[in-house]
């Protein structure tokens, strides 16, 4: 009996005494109430007999009262008023007497002692009044008396002095052994040591039976443990110490030591002492290590492992099981890597794997059984998972360290088989340890890791990538069906690994690699589809994390596979076609992530095309950029009109804007090198007008907006070429002027015909149209300055000003009047700056002055 059991027994005895006292008090209270009821019954019988002559007595009917183990309670009689009859031991007079009303509440319904105040007897009148019922008794709990705390002197004498005495006894034995060492032979010395150990054992056992107090039993246990240790180490010395060697065979000595350790464990089990069991088991492990006889260490470890698991299941000794777990694998490592006292060394090929591995797996199986059978709170939850993790890790580490030097080619088999076993254990834990999901998840995670490591070790290249991809699909489907985050996480990791290995295994123009890359990407797309169909079909977000993750893996694999199996010129077209195909999947797969993220392939196609053909030295054939432009324009219009994907309105506009910008950039890069500088000014202006008109006609507003980039390029080319020394033909620079004026006028007419248009759209565009007009005026003045001869500039500017003045007067337009002012001021400045006298005295200039005076007179009349 250990200390905890003894304390529990003492507490139970204290509670038994308290309950006995409570029962005695209840009996006294019941007897007092019965006596009071008997006296009231006598008085009531006399009054009833006197009144029975004048008034009839109503019939009374007794009510049954439940019986109990306490003294019998009298029956309850219920006439018009309630009366209680008490059954007493003495003989009452006839007839049966009605009792004084009183309400009796038995006190045994309460848990603690209750005190009922005495009720004084009353002499009832005729008819007897109904007195008030007794109040319910108060529950009075007796305060628990605190356990007396042992004094310092008692603790010193019963706890510390006991242990100090045991140490002194062992020290005396050492000195005694030294004396015997100098004067006796080996057999005599061993005999004396055995005698000393036997005396300690006898004294401890006798005192254990005779001692009455707890402190003396504790002292007896210390003496007995000292005797056990003395016998063990005497047996150890009988072989390992030359001065005491009487046992020549190490096997016999090891068997004796192991037997004695087993006896210690048996004593510990009988006494229910985990500390003594730990002591005996530790000595047994020490014996198995120090006995270098064949497989003695392995066999003894197996037996000790079974003993530790037995103690764990039977007595719930968790500490012993942890110590046995560490000691078992440590002693195996000592046997494997320090065998025969040869020093630390690796396992050699001639030693093989079968013999040692059979014991190693036996240890693992036994401790795995302990994981599932243990019910102790110290091996539950996270502690159970830690116990299983240490067991699995020790087996894997020790076996792999042996395999590295013995058989390295079968590592993948061991890893896959061991991982599969852990996956099976995960399922077993799910069924039998339902309240401890951490154990199941621990086995599951470790099993997935080992299976993946085994696959990686076995296969290589694209085959490895495909196997990992298949593993990802299987894990993801199982994880979603069971709603297990660990299986799903394994699917995410193995999917990324498969794509990485797949990309690393691709080669240029390899048809086999092409199909494998397509298949690998399809497996990732299958995961994306499964996540949509099974898990997230009701999720309305534009991009859901899980389908987006697997879709990105598939797109990455397909894009790289396309790069390795197409030419440089055809790579952008192939990507664009893939983007169109992935967009079409929304109508039968219904996975919006594939369609949305597939647009990235089209963007990548444009970037690849610009990177390949930005250099004009290697232009593509005409159909190449034209095909890419057509595919991009088609997808842009699809985003303009599609209803299959529920996205915010801004998402479609964003895609249209990106595609429109890519269309403009590709057109500029494609057509720029094919035109001369002057022609390029006109071509860009024509493209600006044409694309703008097309965008307005098809209501592709982002395309119409991006078309203004052509006009910006045209104006830039105008400034660059007109200001250079080599000017283009005079009519080419007029193209941006005409384009700006035409677009401005068209914008004004558009909104003039639609007054109901949104002011938020109309106002900015009308301001842009006004900016176009002023830019057109600036370009016109620049053109006049560069292309009109110096002598003719004044009257040309004056003529343009007159036209603006007439238009302003006709339309009452203030902006046209400002144009007139700008043109007139420029003409006057030009006239003033003409240096030669012959150029100033020129009859068109005289007409300009007359026109200016006429305009002044007209201004006065307006």
User: What are 431-475's pLDDT values in tens digits?
Assistant: 888 777 888 888 888 888 888 888 887 777 778 888 889 889 988
CA 29: distance to chain centroid? 65
Q: How far apart are CA 418 and CA 426, in angstroms?
A: 12
pLDDT at 494: 92
Q: Are residues 336 and 356 in contact, defined by beta-carbon separation less than 8 angstroms?
A: yes
Q: How far apart are CA 334 and CA 574, in angstroms?
A: 63
Q: How far apart are CA 136 and CA 862, in angstroms?
A: 114
What would the mean pLDDT of 343-348 be, rounded to a whole number?
58
Assigned token pair, 147? 């356990």
> 94 falls in which pLDDT band (50, 70, 90)?
very low
Q: What is the 3-state secondary structure (H, E, C) of 363-380?
A: HHHHHHHHHHHCCCHHHC
pLDDT at 563: 95
* Closest to 131 (Cα-Cα) out of 104, 108, 93: 104
In what helix (H) or strand (E) does residue 522 lie, and over which residues does it extend?
Answer: helix 511-530
Q: Are residues 520 and 512 in contact, defined by beta-carbon separation less than 8 angstroms?
A: no
**Residues in Cβ contact with 705 at an 8 Å cutoff, skipping those fewer than 6 apart:** 657, 660, 695
In what helix (H) or strand (E) does residue 77 lie, and over which residues does it extend?
Answer: strand 76-77
pLDDT at 739: 93
What would the mean pLDDT of 22-38 be, rounded to a whole number?
87
Instruction: Name beta bridge partners: 114.
Output: 139
Q: Is the pLDDT reported for residue 752 higher than 70?
A: yes
Query: How far apart, in Å, are the Cα atoms of 550 and each of 20, 294, 492, 597, 669?
Result: 74, 56, 8, 11, 35
Instruction: Name beta bridge partners: 84.
Output: 76
pLDDT at 841: 58
**Residues in Cβ contact with 687 at an 8 Å cutoff, skipping those fewer than 6 apart:** 667, 671, 707, 710
CA 312: distance to chain centroid? 33
Assigned token pair, 645? 């994907």
Please state whether beta strands 114-115 and 62-63 pair in parallel, antiparallel, or not at all (unpaired): unpaired
CB atoms within 10 A of CB 96: 14
Q: How far apart are CA 668 and CA 301, in angstroms?
A: 81
Torsion-angle region of residue 409: left (phi > 0), alpha (psi -120 to 50) or beta?
alpha
Per-residue pLDDT of 257-286, as tens digits, reads 667 666 766 666 666 666 556 655 665 566
CA 58: distance to chain centroid? 82
> 789 falls in which pLDDT band (50, 70, 90)?
confident
pLDDT at 582: 95
What would the mean pLDDT of 147-155 be, rounded to a whole number?
58
> 559 falls in which pLDDT band (50, 70, 90)?
very high
* Closest to 601 (Cα-Cα) out of 574, 625, 622: 574
Q: How far apart are CA 137 and CA 316, in angstroms?
A: 46
Rounded percentage of the chain residues whose pLDDT exceeds 70: 63
> 527 falls in which pLDDT band (50, 70, 90)?
very high
Q: Tell me the average pLDDT of the chain.
A: 75
Cis upstream peptide for 127 (omega within 30°)? yes
* Closest to 230 (Cα-Cα) out of 179, 167, 286, 278: 167
Using a cut of 0.75, tell me whether the model's pTM lies above it.
no
- Residue in this structure with the two tokens 């006839």, named with its chain if needed: 94
pLDDT at 643: 87
Please state whether beta strands 83-84 and 62-63 pair in parallel, antiparallel, or not at all (unpaired): unpaired
Q: Are residues 684 and 718 in contact, defined by beta-carbon separation less than 8 angstroms?
A: no
Instruction: Name beta bridge partners: 77.
Output: 62, 83
User: How many Cα atoms are found within 13 Å in the side-chain-facing hemisphere of 792?
Assistant: 6
Q: Is the pLDDT reported for residue 116 higher than 90?
A: no
Q: Is the pLDDT reported for residue 615 higher than 60?
A: yes
State whether the Cα torsion 741-742-743-747 is positive or negative: positive
What would the mean pLDDT of 74-101 be, rounded to a whole number?
42
Higher confidence at residue 559 or residue 786? 559
Per-residue pLDDT of 487-503, as tens digits, reads 899 899 999 999 999 99
pLDDT at 812: 77
State whether the Cα torsion 848-851-857-862 is positive or negative: negative
* Closest to 612 (Cα-Cα) out of 644, 570, 650: 570
Please state whether beta strands 138-139 and 76-77 pair in parallel, antiparallel, or not at all (unpaired): unpaired
> 123 falls in which pLDDT band (50, 70, 90)?
very low
Assigned token pair, 406? 């013995």
Q: Is the pLDDT reported for residue 573 higher than 70?
A: yes
Query: How far apart, in Å, are the Cα atoms of 198 and each of 226, 681, 780?
Result: 10, 116, 125
What would the mean pLDDT of 51-70 be, rounded to a whole number?
45
Q: Residue 776, class by beta-carbon neighbours within 10 Å (0-12 exposed, 13-18 middle, 19+ buried)?
A: buried
Higher confidence at residue 838 or residue 715? 715
Q: Is the pLDDT reported for residue 617 higher than 80?
A: no
Name the residue ranges covered by the structural domains of the chain: 3-131, 158-248, 263-406, 675-781, 788-862
Q: Are residues 510 and 565 in contact, defined by beta-carbon separation less than 8 angstroms?
A: yes
Question: 231-235, 565-569, 718-722, 787-791: lowest mean pLDDT where?
Answer: 231-235
Q: Is the pLDDT reported for residue 562 higher than 70?
A: yes
What would the mean pLDDT of 239-267 be, rounded to a whole number?
66
What would the mean pLDDT of 730-748 be, rounded to a whole number?
91
Taking each helix axis as running N to C, give the angle between helix 161-183 and helix 214-240, from 0 to 180 degrees, rounded to the nearest 10: 30
Question: 179-188, 499-508, 564-573, 797-806: lowest mean pLDDT where?
Answer: 179-188
User: How many Cα atoms are found within 13 Å in the side-chain-facing hemisphere of 611?
Assistant: 9
pLDDT at 827: 76
Sheet holding 76-77, edge to edge: 62-63, 76-77, 83-84
Q: Are residues 378 and 413 in contact, defined by beta-carbon separation less than 8 angstroms?
A: no
pLDDT at 759: 87
Q: Is the pLDDT reported for residue 532 higher than 70?
A: yes
Q: How far apart are CA 474 and CA 727, in angstroms?
A: 70
DSSP state of 535: I
pLDDT at 297: 63
CB atoms within 10 A of CB 243: 11
């Amino acid at each position: 009996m250990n200390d905890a059991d003894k304390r529990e027994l003492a507490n139970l005895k204290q509670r038994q005494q308290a309950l006995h006292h409570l029962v005695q008090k209840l009996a006294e209270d019941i007897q007092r109430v019965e006596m009071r009821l008997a006296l009231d019954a006598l008085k009531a019988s006399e009054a009833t007999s006197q009144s029975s002559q004048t008034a009839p007595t109503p019939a009374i009917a007794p009510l049954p009262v439940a019986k109990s183990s306490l003294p019998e309670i009298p029956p309850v009689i219920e006439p018009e008023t309630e009366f209680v009859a008490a059954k007493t031991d003495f003989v009452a007079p006839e007839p049966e007497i009605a009792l004084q009303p009183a309400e009796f509440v038995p006190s045994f319904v309460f848990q603690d002692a209750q005190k009922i105040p005495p009720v004084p007897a009353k002499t009832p009148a005729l008819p007897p009044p109904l007195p008030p019922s007794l109040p319910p008794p108060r529950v009075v709990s007796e305060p628990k008396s605190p356990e007396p705390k042992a004094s310092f002197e008692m603790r010193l004498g019963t706890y510390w002095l006991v242990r100090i005495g045991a140490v002194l006894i062992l020290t005396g034995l050492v000195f005694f052994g030294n004396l015997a060492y100098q004067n006796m032979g080996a057999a005599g010395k061993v005999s004396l040591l055995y005698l000393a150990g036997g005396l300690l054992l006898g004294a401890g056992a006798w005192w254990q039976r005779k001692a009455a107090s707890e402190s003396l039993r504790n002292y007896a246990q210390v003496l007995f443990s000292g005797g056990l240790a003395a016998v063990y180490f005497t047996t150890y010395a009988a072989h390992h110490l030359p001065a005491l060697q009487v046992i020549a065979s190490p096997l016999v000595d090891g068997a004796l030591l192991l037997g004695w350790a087993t006896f210690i464990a048996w004593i510990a089990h009988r006494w229910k002492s985990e500390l003594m069991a730990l002591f005996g088991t530790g000595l047994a492990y020490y014996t198995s290590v120090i006995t270098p006889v064949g497989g003695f260490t392995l066999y003894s470890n197996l037996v000790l492992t079974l003993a530790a698991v037995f103690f764990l299941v039977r007595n719930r000794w968790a500490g012993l099981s942890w110590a046995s777990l560490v000691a078992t694998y440590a002693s195996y490592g000592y046997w494997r890597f320090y065998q025969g006292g040869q020093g630390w060394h690796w396992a050699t090929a001639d030693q093989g794997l079968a013999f040692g591995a059979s014991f190693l797996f036996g240890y693992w199986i036994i401790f795995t059984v302990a994981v599932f059978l243990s019910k102790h709170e110290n091996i539950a939850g996270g502690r159970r998972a830690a116990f299983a993790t240490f067991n699995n890790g020790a087996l894997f580490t020790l076996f792999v360290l042996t395999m590295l030097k013995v058989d390295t080619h079968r590592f993948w088999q061991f890893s896959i088989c061991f991982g599969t076993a852990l996956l099976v254990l995960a399922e077993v834990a799910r069924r039998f340890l339902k309240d401890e999901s951490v154990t199941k998840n621990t086995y599951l995670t470790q099993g997935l890791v080992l299976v993946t490591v085994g696959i990686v070790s076995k296969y290589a290249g694209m085959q490895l990538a495909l196997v990992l991809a298949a593993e990802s699909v299987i894990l993801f489907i199982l994880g979603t069906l069971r709603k297990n985050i660990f299986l799903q996480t394994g699917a995410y990791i193995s999917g990324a690994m498969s794509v990485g290995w797949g990309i690393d295994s691709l080669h240029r123009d390899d048809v086999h690699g092409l199909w494998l890359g397509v298949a690998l990407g399809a497996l990732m797309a299958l995961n994306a589809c499964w996540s949509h169909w099974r898990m997230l079909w009701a999720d309305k977000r534009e991009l859901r994390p899980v389908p987006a993750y697997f879709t990105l893996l598939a797109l990455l694999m397909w894009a790289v596979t396309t790069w390795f199996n197409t030419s440089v010129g055809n790579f952008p077209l192939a990507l664009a076609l893939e983007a169109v195909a992935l967009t079409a999947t929304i109508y039968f797969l219904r996975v919006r992530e594939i369609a949305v993220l597939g647009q990235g392939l089209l963007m990548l196609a444009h970037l690849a095309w610009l990177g390949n053909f930005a250099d004009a030295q290697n232009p593509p054939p005409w159909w190449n950029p034209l095909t890419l432009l057509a595919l991009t324009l088609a997808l842009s219009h699809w985003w303009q009109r599609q209803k299959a994907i529920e996205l915010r309105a801004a998402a479609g506009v964003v895609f249209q804007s990106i595609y429109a910008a890519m269309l403009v950039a590709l057109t500029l890069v494609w057509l720029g090198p094919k035109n001369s500088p002057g022609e390029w000014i006109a071509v860009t202006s024509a493209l600006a007008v044409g694309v703008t008109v097309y965008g307005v006609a098809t209501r592709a507003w982002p395309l119409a907006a991006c078309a203004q980039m052509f006009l910006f390029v045209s104006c830039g080319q105008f400034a660059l070429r007109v200001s250079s020394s080599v000017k283009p033909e005079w009519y080419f620079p007029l193209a941006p002027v005409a384009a700006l004026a035409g677009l401005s006028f068209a914008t004004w007419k558009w909104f003039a015909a639609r007054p109901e248009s949104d002011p938020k759209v109309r106002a900015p565009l009308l301001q842009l149209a006004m900016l176009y007009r002023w830019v057109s005026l600036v370009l016109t003045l620049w053109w006049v300055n560069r292309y009109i001869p110096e002598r003719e500039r004044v009257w040309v500017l004056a003529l343009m000003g007159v036209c603006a003045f007439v238009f302003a007067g006709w339309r009452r337009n203030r902006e046209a009047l400002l144009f007139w002012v700008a043109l007139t001021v420029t003409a006057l400045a030009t006239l003033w700056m003409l240096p030669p006298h012959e150029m100033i005295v020129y009859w068109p200039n005289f007409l300009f002055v007359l026109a200016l005076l006429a305009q002044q007179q007209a201004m006065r009349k307006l």
